[in-house]
Amino acid sequence: MNDRSRVSPGATVNVVLGELLRSAAAEGRDTLNPAEIARFVESFGAALAEGAPGGVDLRIELTNTREFGVVLSVGSGGLDAELDASNFRKDRAKVSASVELTDAADFLRLFRRTVAYRKMAAIAQRDERRPPDHVLEFCFGLMIGLGCEFSAANPDAPFVLRSLQLDGVQFNKRPTVASGGCEFGARAAGRLPRPIHKIDKLIHPKSIGVIGVSATSMNFGRIILNNLVGSGYPKEQLTILKPGEAEIDGVRCVEGLRALDGKLDLLIVAVAADAVYDLVDEIIESDAVESVMLIPGGLGETAKSREPAAKLAERINAAHGRPGGGPVFLGANCLGVVSHAGGYDSWFIPLERLPKPQKKPVRNSVMLSQSGAFMITRLSRNPWLDPRYMLALGNQTDLTHGDLLAYFAERAEIETIGLYIEGFRDGDGLDFAKAVRRAVRNGKQVVVYKSARTAAGAGGVMGHTASIAGDWQLADSVLRQAGAIVAEDFEAFDDLFYIAGALHHKKVGPRVGGISGAGFEAVGIADSIESDNFSLEMGALEQETVRRVGEILAAKRLDALVEVRNPIDINPGADDDAHLQVTQAFLDDPNIDAVVVGLDPTAPAIRGLESSKLRPGHDLSDPKGTVHIYPPLVADNDKPVIGIVDGGVLYDAMAARLMDQGVCVFRNCGRGTRALARYVEARLDGDAIRKRNS
């Protein structure tokens, strides 16, 4: 969608702005004066003047952001801009998108969500005319074209826009602009591209070296060595770099990098932070390693270390300009990597504290995180996430979020990617957004938790991974427009990453059926179908389905207690089989795309306990129970089924048995239905992205 040919309607505007920027630069200015703004506004047929009273003021901005390059933002203008931003929910005050990843029609689609557009549409309806969509689309096309033309991503750009703002914009007989401003500057040199193909060596190494292993104590290096061996990585493919030692724990030692008898695929560095600087220089000069994992913290997280850490990053960046691209570095301040496909675990967390049993027939997801603890806690709480790879990025001294996502976006065996992001390196937000778009085009889902929603959170980020947090709302808008599912909290991240993996191969649609033996739960399903910009709908049951469910209830002697509707409360007297039969009837209805079913574990008729004292055998061992009869139903249907097991610790075993067999289970109806709504929205948006780019 970033084809520069799309800017042709505004070619004249680009020329005029270019002339104005050159003239201002010749006078030593980096801003345009009011007369120059007026000439720019006139170049696209508008006038610099106050709009009509009662009209809808817009603010249209191009902003060259540190993370995402040039971003177009449009929303309410004037005083309303500040009031709306603090009082309206997501996408109502304004919408934003990277100019590299949108076009005029796509941006108009986003803008229709705003209160400003709805006011414009209401006024047009009152005046018996159409909303000014064609004028808006033309205007957005002009701005997107300018953003691409005067962007650091354009190597031919004579100048780079820092900001271009038009405020109080109205679209009457002639567009008017109440005020405007423009700042610009010269292009700055960016980082060299990382040789991201070497990530393959990082996650599928045929040889691993470890430096920093103590021969006498259980330091981090020794723990990492033990975890590598304990995870099954062959000792003969391991090398310890340790002068004066022949072997440690049965693994051979060599004196150093220059004593290696071949190039290492991966070197794990677990030395003290102050020893890293000289070691990195030796790694680069020796060209003995393809990829490096920097475990030590303290590189850039404190004021004292920021300058030397920045110089270290510069030296690593310069090495990428050499033949072969030099090694790639993961970290620093990095927990490490778990690569099931590569056969190794370098985390320094003992398996007794974090077992990693296989919970999926095929591991098909990736988790990438700046915080290693984030991955540990997520996996501990929900082992059914079960990623194929888990990588901690730490400080992004070299490899970035954009690099890793770009790599995994092209891997066919990966279907879902979850990321915890504290901050982006300069320009990497745009690379990341482009990688999101590629992943979505390739049929994947990308789930993101972007931290630092508050000023206090942003302050904590710098001290953790030496990252600059950036504008959270901007990141949220740009990443969602690129196709990511952005989670608002950790619980939502868990839910969305889990449901994306569980339902990846199911067909989706907006019409849902709700079933439960509890009235509150049936209502709760219906009350949870909306997200910020999307809503599921309760599907209208066909008469054949009504008849069929009625017969099921009659056979179970529940027909006098239950009215067939959607959502339906089938009564606490319904047993496992009744739930199953009604679920199947809903799935067979062509007006239902997915079913959320409360499995009612506490109901006496349900076989939900590990063992029952009152009714021996009426428990999870009974082949007539839910844990036995639901997995085949889920496997045999291409529509999603969300099972709700709302109960305490007594019913953890029921939920776990179902999840182990591939049934998508949530522990309350609100979480399950909200996750389904967000997931269906993302799948449908992904379909639209692929259609627009086909």
What is the DSSP secondary-structure string of 100-125? GG--HHHHHHHHTTSHHHHHHHHHHH
Residue 608 DSSP code: -
Please state, in angstroms and as integers, the Cα–Cα distance from residue 586 to each residue in 251, 504, 555, following that order: 60, 21, 17
Q: Confidence class of residue 1 from pLDDT cuts 50, 70 and 90?
A: very low
Question: Does 7 score more than 50 pLDDT?
Answer: no
| Joined tokens for residue 230 | 């304990």
| For range 380-405, the mean pLDDT | 96
The amino acid at residue 498 is Y
| Joined tokens for residue 74 | 């449009």
Listed in sequence order, the residues at least 6 apart from 52 whose beta carbon sits closer than 8 Å to its beta carbon are 170, 172, 176
- Extended strands (E) in 350-503: 365-369, 389-392, 416-421, 445-450, 485-487
Contact 682, 503 (CB under 8 A): no
Closest alpha carbon to 628 in 619, 641, 616 = 619
Cα distance between residue 601 and residue 609, in whole Å: 8
Cα distance between residue 131 and residue 621, in whole Å: 63
What pLDDT score does 694 carry?
67
Question: Does 460 score more than 70 pLDDT?
Answer: no
- Which of 82 and 303 is assigned the larger pLDDT? 303
Listed in sequence order, the residues at least 6 apart from 210 whose beta carbon sits closer than 8 Å to its beta carbon are 221, 224, 225, 228, 238, 239, 240, 241, 267, 268, 270
Cα distance between residue 539 and residue 111, in whole Å: 29
What pLDDT score does 3 carry?
41
Tens of pLDDT, residue by residue over 142-169, are: 999 999 999 998 989 989 999 999 999 9
Concatenating the DSSP letter of every residue in 400-432 gives: -HHHHHHHHHT-TT--EEEEEES-PPTTHHHHH
Measured over the CA atoms of residue 338, residue 316, residue 282 and residue 463, the dihedral's sign is negative
| For range 101-128, the mean pLDDT | 94
Cα distance between residue 37 and residue 41, in whole Å: 6
Question: Does 456 score more than 50 pLDDT?
Answer: yes
**Order of strands across the sheet that contains 94-98:** 94-98, 69-76, 58-65, 160-169, 179-185
Closest alpha carbon to 144 in 198, 177, 107 = 107
Q: Confidence class of residue 455 from pLDDT cuts 50, 70 and 90?
A: low
Closest alpha carbon to 368 in 238, 199, 197 = 199
Contact 538, 567 (CB under 8 A): yes
Lowest mean per-residue pLDDT among 63-72, 76-85, 237-246, 611-620: 76-85
- Which of 127 and 693 is assigned the larger pLDDT? 127
Contact 544, 689 (CB under 8 A): no
Q: Around Cβ 272, how many Cβ atoms within 10 Å? A: 9
What pLDDT score does 479 carry?
97
How wide is the angle at C-alpha 388 spanned by C-alphas 386 and 393, nearest 5°? 100
Closest alpha carbon to 570 in 509, 515, 520 = 515
Cα distance between residue 137 and residue 150, in whole Å: 20
Q: Confidence class of residue 78 from pLDDT cuts 50, 70 and 90?
A: confident
Cα distance between residue 251 and residue 238, in whole Å: 6
What pLDDT score does 339 carry?
98
- Which of 508 and 461 is assigned the larger pLDDT? 508
Pinpoint the alpha helices (H) of 287-344: 303-319
| For range 472-501, the mean pLDDT | 96
Cα distance between residue 306 and residue 308, in whole Å: 6
Q: Helix/strand/coil (H, E, C) string of 34-47?
A: HHHHHHHHHHCCCE
| Distance from chain centroid for Cα 254 | 42
| Joined tokens for residue 617 | 């055998």
Listed in sequence order, the residues at least 6 apart from 443 whose beta carbon sits closer than 8 Å to its beta carbon are 415, 686, 690
Average of per-residue pLDDT values in the chain: 93
Q: What are phi and psi of 81, to 5 degrees?
A: -60, -45
The amino acid at residue 97 is A
What pLDDT score does 463 carry?
52
Tens of pLDDT, residue by residue over 311-367, are: 999 999 999 999 999 999 999 999 999 999 999 999 988 888 899 999 999 999 999
What pLDDT score does 350 carry?
80
Q: Confidence class of residue 5 from pLDDT cuts 50, 70 and 90?
A: very low
Contact 553, 559 (CB under 8 A): yes
